[in-house]
């Protein structure tokens, strides 16, 4: 990985669309045996064929940030588990992407590593006019 001029606040986003994320540790996917062997995928940034690193994150709602519709008083005192997301990192260029709990892939940018974490900034299709 290259040397970054401005270090990140976090190794991976601490929040995902406002939900707390508890990340595990990085694992090397080259040690996973799959038969038949799949064709190697290239990194979308540097075109590397190196096996990606993988990390799983557990998503939690905490009472302080819970939306009113959930009912803050119904949450446990600490946090409530709501899902899992998976991060992939290119070992050559360090580019990260995330597979969210709805099956969508996201490429991360520097803003995703701050205290506010990563947010879906695409327009909501349900509120757009035809």
The residues that bridge with 15 in the sheet, in sequence order, are: 20
Average pLDDT score over residue span 18-24: 93
- Average pLDDT of the segment spanning 85-109: 94
Instruction: Give the residue with greater pLDDT, 123 vs 12.
Output: 12
Q: Reply yes or no: is the peptide bond before residue 36 cis, omega within 30 of 0.
A: yes
Q: What is the pLDDT of residue 77?
A: 62
Q: Which of 39, 84, 41, 44 is nearest to 60 (CA)?
A: 84
- Predicted pLDDT of residue 21: 95
What's the predicted TM-score (pTM) here? 0.78
Structure confidence at residue 26 (pLDDT): 95
44: tokens are 């979308």
pLDDT at 54 over 60: yes
Domain boundaries, the chain: 15-114
Q: What is the pLDDT of residue 126?
A: 43
Provide the strand spans (E) within the chain.
15-16, 19-23, 27-28, 53-61, 80-89, 96-99, 105-107
- 19 vs 35, higher pLDDT: 19
């Amino acid at each position: 990985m290259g040397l970054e001029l401005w270090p990140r606040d976090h190794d991976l986003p601490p929040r995902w669309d406002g939900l707390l994320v508890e990340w595990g540790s990085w694992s090397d996917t080259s040690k996973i045996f799959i038969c038949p062997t799949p064709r190697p995928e290239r990194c979308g940034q540097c075109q590397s064929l190196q096996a990606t690193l993988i990390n799983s994150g557990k998503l939690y709602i905490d009472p302080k940030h819970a939306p009113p519709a959930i009912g803050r008083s119904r949450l446990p005192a600490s946090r409530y588990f709501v899902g899992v997301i998976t991060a992939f990192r290119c070992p050559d260029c360090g580019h990260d992407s995330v597979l969210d709990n709805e099956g969508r892939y996201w490429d991360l940018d520097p803003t995703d590593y701050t205290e506010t974490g990563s947010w879906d900034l695409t327009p909501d299709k349900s509120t757009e006019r035809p």
